């Protein structure tokens, strides 16, 4: 039976449309539009692209966008004052501080200064704690997007054996908590896991979030499993690309390396997953497309929760 490719675009588009309609309803019935404030420090090109996409999507969906761009010399105290001002601004529903921050700024102090009710990234310890206890909370966007992919693709989570490869605070740990909330039996693996392939290959749902290109191979995958690839890695070596792709897809990837110096690859070897999995999310075109959509979802949810709607 051919593998089922779980494209992120139609799911992201559906979520964005739901957010657009909900934002219009809040505007017409309750007289306000949800507002997202984005703080960017410095001139990191990738951060600039991410913030630009977030601001653009916010405005396209009828939400209000506020963008603060601070210089790379900004100190911790200065950004903390800005966050305090945004916390106190009742018109602001969501606050997002774009990471990474310059080295002189203490990221953890900044993230913990955000009002948990406005923490649309879901990184504040209070939201992390609420999530781990199974309470309603603003959850990190990427793991929340994975749950949407599974649900909207008709993949049964309740009762499934789910294995998460990676234990980061941004993806791995909250992913485990969200899967538990959906009644999966969850195992989180990491670099110290003994016989990782043996553990991973028991998974009905395998989430790869370890940050290593093509790390998950055939021996990690249970036949017919749903494989969710959260990784985004740059591969610039044509020989390495040939380990992951073949035929027309390999030619396309080699052309990308020649043109821009790299091609995007996930944490799963796509050649292996095509031979063994029942369903999988491609890279690019999979889970990554859900992140901004879930940020918009969190902004609307934060606006409603703050107002008791």
Question: Is 121 tagged catalytic?
Answer: yes
Torsion, Cα of 141, 144, 173, 123 (10° steps)? 30
Return the exposure string of 7-25: e unless at least 16 CB atoms fall within 10 Å of the residue's CB, then b: ebeebbeebbeebbebbee
Tokens at 53, concatenated = 């996409």
Q: What is the helix (H) or strand (E) element at residue 33, kind and residue range?
A: none
**Catalytically annotated residue among 93, 98, 115, 181:** 98
- Judge contact between 93 and 34, C-beta under 8 A: yes
Distance CA 76, CA 101 (A): 10
- Judge contact between 131 and 295, C-beta under 8 A: no
Distance CA 289, CA 8 (A): 6
- Judge contact between 203 and 228, C-beta under 8 A: no
Say if strands 94-97 and 161-165 run parallel, antiparallel, or are unpaired: unpaired
The SS3 of residue 37 is strand
Question: Is 54 tagged catalytic?
Answer: yes
- Judge contact between 154 and 7, C-beta under 8 A: no
**Catalytically annotated residue among 54, 118, 173, 276:** 54
Report DSSP letters for 158-196, one per residue: TT-EEEEE---TTTHHHHHHHHHHTT-EEEEE-TT-TTH
**Catalytically annotated residue among 93, 119, 121, 301:** 121
Question: Is 181 tagged catalytic?
Answer: no
Return the exposure string of 221-246: e unless at least 16 CB atoms fall within 10 Å of the residue's CB, then b: bbeebbbbbbbbbebeeeeebebbbe
Please give the biggest Cα pair distance in the chain: 58
Please give the positions annotated as active site: 54, 98, 121
């Amino acid at each position: 039976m051919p593998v089922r490719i779980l494209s992120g675009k139609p799911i992201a588009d559906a979520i964005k449309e739901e957010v657009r309609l909900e934002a219009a309803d809040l505007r017409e019935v309750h007289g306000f539009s949800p507002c997202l404030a984005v703080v960017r420090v410095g001139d990191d090109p990738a951060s600039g692209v991410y913030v630009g996409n977030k601001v653009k999507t916010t405005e396209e969906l009828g939400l209000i966008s506020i963008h603060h761009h601070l210089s790379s010399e900004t100190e911790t105290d200065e950004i903390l004052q800005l966050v305090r001002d945004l916390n106190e601004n009742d018109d602001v529903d969501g606050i997002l501080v774009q990471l990474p921050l310059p080295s002189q700024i203490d990221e953890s102090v900044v993230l913990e200064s955000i009002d948990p009710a406005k923490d649309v990234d879901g990184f504040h310890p209070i939201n992390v704690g609420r999530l781990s206890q199974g309470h309603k909370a603003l959850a990190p966007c990427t793991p929340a997007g994975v749950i949407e992919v599974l649900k909207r693709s008709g993949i049964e989570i309740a009762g499934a054996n789910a294995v998460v490869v990676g234990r980061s605070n941004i993806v791995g740990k909250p992913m485990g908590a969200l899967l538990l909330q959906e009644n999966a039996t969850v195992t989180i693996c990491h670099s110290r896991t003994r016989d990782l392939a043996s553990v991973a290959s028991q998974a009905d749902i395998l989430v790869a979030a370890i940050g290593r290109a093509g790390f998950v191979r055939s021996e990690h995958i249970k036949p017919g499993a749903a494989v969710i690839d959260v990784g985004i890695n740059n591969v610039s070596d044509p020989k390495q690309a040939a380990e992951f792709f073949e035929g027309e897809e390999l030619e396309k990837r080699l052309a990308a390396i020649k043109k821009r110096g790299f091609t995007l690859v996930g944490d799963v070897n796509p050649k292996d997953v095509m031979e063994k999995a029942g369903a999988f999310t491609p890279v690019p075109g999979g889970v990554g497309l859900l992140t901004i959509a879930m940020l918009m979802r969190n902004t609307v949810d934060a606006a409603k929760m703050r107002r008791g709607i």
